[in-house]
Chains A and B, each alone.
Chain A
Amino acid sequence: MTKDIKIKINGVEHRASVEPRLLLVHFLREVAGLTGTHIGCETSLCGACTVMLEGRAVKSCTVLAVQADGASVTTVEGLAQSGALHPVQEGFWEEHGLQCGYCTPGMIMAAADLLEHSPAAAAGATPGDLEIREGLGGNICRCTGYQNIVAAVRSAARKMNRRKKAVAA
């Protein structure tokens, strides 16, 4: 038994007939061919598969593709806008927030969500280190020891605030 679904991924609509048990992460990787979203556990414990579903971060190994029918998804491949890296991507590069890079797409998506929705960020302030560390509590990195990931998110937050202010001015 399969079900016809359509999911808009990074602005492009993908239609397929899928088994109801197909995980969203497998839809992204196998059906849409977007392998930037990684699998680290398939049990919702590592965050490697984090994507934006309707603008909020979800672990795509914990969502069925059929649940995302009609929805829009952003993956790490769709984060850069009109050829420019997202500030969080820049932050990870500039602050050496990655080593093997395997956790990185999920970390970046979780961090982007954090900066979009954290109370501090909403108030135009930079979230504190503890808020960043706790906000990334669903994502595991084995390489970096997190210090530079925190620095990356902090730097992205500052950059985003500066830009917001520049737009407002």
Chain B
Amino acid sequence: MAIRSRKTGKPAPRQMAPQGTLARAPKKAAERGIAAAQKSRTNGRPEPWVGRRYLRKEDPRLIQGISHYADDLRLPGMLHCVFVRSPHAYARIAGIHTGAARSSPGVVAVYTASDTKALGVVPCAGALPDLKIPRHPVLAEGHVRHVGEPVAAVIAEDLYQARDAAEKVQVEYDPLPAVVDPEKALAGTNFVHASVKSNQAFTHQLKNGDVDAAFSRADRVVKARFVNQRLAPVSMETRGVVAQYLPGEKTLTVWSSTQIPHLLKTQVALILGVPETHVRVVTPEVGGGFGSKLNVYREEAVVPFAAMQLGRPVKWSESRRENIAATIHGRDQINYVELALKKNGTILGMRARVISDLGAYHQLLTPIIPTLTALLISGCYKIGALQCDVVGVFTNKMATDAYRGAGRPEATYIIERMVDLAARELNLDPAEIRRRNFPKPREYPFATITGITYDSGNYENAMKKALELAGYSRLRARQKDAWKRGKYYGVGLSTYVEICAMGPSTAMPAGGWESGTVRVEPTGKITVLTGASPHGQGQETTFAQIVADIFGLTPDDVNIVHGDTAAVPYGIGTFGSRATAVGGTAMYIAAQKVKAKMAAIAAHLLGEKAAAMNFSAGRVGTKKKSLGFGEVVGAAYVARNLPPGVEPGLEATHFFEPSNFTFPFGTHVVSCEVDAETGHIRIDKYVAVDDCGNVINPLLVEGQIHGGIVQGVSQALFEEVIYNEDGQLVTGTLMDYSMPKAAQVPEFILERTCTPSPVNPMGVKGVGEAGTIASTPAVVNAVCDALRPLGITHIDMPLKPEKVWRAIQQARAAAAS
């Protein structure tokens, strides 16, 4: 059958089909046009695939609506679960009456804490010395401590029946005064957990150098208080869990929309008391996570519990209201910061107090997140001395935990805002003060005052490129002109560094390694099993590009399998921009092991040296003598003529333990106009120069940066989870929680510099969070810069028009009086 290209009508060239591999199955007609587009992007050359804008292998199923997210799963006899949740921030449960619900049509069971109190608790991986970990049961016991806390689970034949019955569960509450303000909570005597007798969950100090001396030597000290507001991650797919128990086989299968299938498997086994050998966790298609699915949630225990009790599959799909109330939140810190400065801008010392609002219960990493703020608080600067005190506070709110950047956006916001305030105080250009405090390229690996070692970097180079691209001096000229005309135009910079590729196990609560298995199948196709658990990042494509290069095949010859604990060796998961740098490296090394074995077999068959074997365009050998890839594979499996000591089969697994994190960096430049009459902010120009080391697929890197920037810009301008003084969640729907829309965000101009990481053989760093980390302070710096003539130094986020307008009015009134 001849395939014709749509554009030219000529027969479409097929994607490179290396000889020696078996013919691939014909693509669906619908996908052929794209195969041609793919071809034109690759100029028809075979390897290297790495570095190309290769179109994603995931997309055909996603653009046709034929993939399966958790809510799309249907099992015979499946029941539906709906949770009854607390409407109060804090209350004693005086009684729960489930009779009416139980007799409601279609209801099979109603569970409360009296059924689940013997189960294990929701885990917290934090291990700080004075950390208080209050009991976190799977259903509320005795008290509810935040709006949305689950009190009962109703199981019925269909979703509508379960929802009807949930309304009939009567819970008697004795409301208690809620603990809402974290600063007041620290001093107060109204405790979120009576058993802890304090709202202080932990303290943590990071101290290095003579801080007092630095401050006494300082020419100037700049001080500020910042509020880094609470955010909701709002992945477009909410959470969802389906569980099935087979009593004969005693196997429990849990499908969950999670970023950490293996860790979840272990925890489900522990909570339910089921042997881990009989638990399987599968992540179906996952519709975004941003850290919110890097967790173990109550529902992930209750739904399998119900399935085991009832001997029927049970499904729960989180509603958006539940998602905003009972999926973790991010950020929520108050920061008091001081910088000790020399007149020339040198940063002598820094003091910071981080007050972290943890919410009512610890989720998996809740107390760890603000400690990451301390670790990155010196940003990309040489700072002489540092003291950072972190305190975690219980309040009657949902837990905070990892949300895109997880503690690092807070750190970057602190240091990047402070450096801008310092520049203003010392009358220096914001770019110049940064340049003066950067480590020089020869100083890497660079030991920071916070006690970590930056692997590689060239901050000045990235900044220079960004300033050029933005036309910095033209923007400054434009600003002068605007100010003259009574308009407010500002330019903001953020020169960031971040911590990626989490991380060496010594620095991680539950293992910082990752696993990868590479198996060349008898047909010559390659299966990769990775412990990483992508949920939108596109590793089915990028990992295939990497492996295709190693074996001289095409990405279509490689299938990446992830997110099934029955198929994939134990792994950690996808978060902290670790999948490629840690998971990809594990796979890379496993692939090299298999390749070495194939080289030995090929050399044996050809009578050559293994070191001379070259893998390219589907052949293995030297220029003169070679075998088809499939012939070597066949020899490994037929196993009649193997070199001495070589086992049959072609499979290897590697567990990669990185020696350090990686530290991507870059500079974002924003210019904006503030309408003084309305407080409205219009972003005029957004330039981002990012350095994430070597790049596997520029198309996907750009996508990560775009999405990241919008999340960060949106924190600066729009988003905020608000609990009122009674602890009521007033931003509980997408009507009230302000998500960015297409027309509210600008177009971005992206460039890269490339400083490979020495930490892994591919020289990659990670890029999942860079945009979010960099953009927030850049935007706020630009807005505050615009308002300089009014004497405004700082406005807390989100910079909603009303808030900006008020600040302008106040500044004008102050100037007039």
Contact = CB atoms under 8 A, between A and B. Distances in A.
Given A93-B59, A145-B710, A105 B65 contact: yes
A84 B29 contact: yes
Contact of A101 (B34, B234, B319, B536): B536
B56 interface: yes
B197 to A, nearest CB: 40
B63 A77 contact: no
Contacts of B237: 38, 40, 100, 102
B699 A96 contact: yes
A120 to B, nearest CB: 16
A140 B287 CA distance: 13
A102 B28 CA distance: 22
B745 A145 contact: yes
Interface in B703-738: 703-704, 706-711, 733-735
B739 A101 contact: no
Interface stretch (B66-74, B122-130, B198-206, B367-375): B66-74
A113 B74 CA distance: 30
Contacts of A1: none
B236 interface: yes
A85 interface: yes
Interface string B655-684: 000000000000000000000000000000
Contacts of B745: 145-146
Interface in A94-133: 94, 96, 98-105, 108, 129-130, 132-133
A99 B63 contact: no
B64 A99 contact: no
A79 B65 CA distance: 10
Interface in B521-570: 535-538
B761 interface: no
B463 to A, nearest CB: 23
A42 interface: yes
A132 B742 contact: yes
Interface in A32-52: 33-43, 45-46, 48
Nearest to B750: A147
Contacts of A98: 59, 62-63
A100 B536 contact: yes
Identify whether the interface residues of A are mostly helix, strand, loop, or mixed: loop
A142 B234 contact: yes
Interface in B310-330: 317, 319-320
B708 A145 contact: yes
Given A43-B735, A85-B30, A146-B742, A102 B236 contact: yes
B287 A102 contact: yes
B60 interface: yes
A139 B37 CA distance: 27
B717 to A, nearest CB: 14
Interface in B49-81: 55-56, 58-60, 62-69, 71-72, 74
Contacts of B37: 90, 94
Contacts of A77: 64-66
Contact of A104 (B30, B62, B709): B62
B187 interface: no
Contact of B160 (A21, A37, A42): A21
Contact of B30 (A34, A84, A129, A132): A84
A36 B67 CA distance: 7
Given A84-B33, A100-B535, A36 B66 contact: yes
A99 B537 contact: yes
B703 A89 contact: no
A89 B748 contact: no
Contact of B707 (A139, A142, A150): A142
B747 A129 contact: yes
A11 B473 CA distance: 60
B288 A143 contact: yes
Given A101-B58, A150-B742, A144 B68 contact: no
A75 interface: yes
30 contacts: A35-B69, A35-B72, A36-B65, A36-B66, A38-B287, A40-B320, A41-B733, A42-B320, A46-B320, A77-B66, A90-B33, A90-B37, A93-B63, A96-B700, A99-B288, A99-B703, A99-B704, A99-B707, A100-B288, A101-B287, A101-B536, A102-B235, A102-B287, A134-B742, A136-B741, A141-B236, A142-B288, A143-B707, A146-B710, A147-B747
Given A103-B236, A140-B741, A149-B742, 18 more contacts: A29-B72, A35-B69, A41-B320, A45-B734, A48-B236, A83-B28, A84-B30, A85-B33, A93-B34, A93-B60, A94-B37, A100-B535, A102-B288, A140-B739, A143-B703, A146-B742, A147-B748, A148-B702
Interface of A: 19, 21-22, 26, 29, 33-43, 45-46, 48, 75-77, 79-80, 83-85, 89-90, 92-94, 96, 98-105, 108, 129-130, 132-134, 136-137, 139-150
The 7 A-B pairs at the shortest CB distance, nearest first, are namely A36-B65, A102-B287, A100-B536, A101-B62, A145-B706, A83-B29, A76-B65
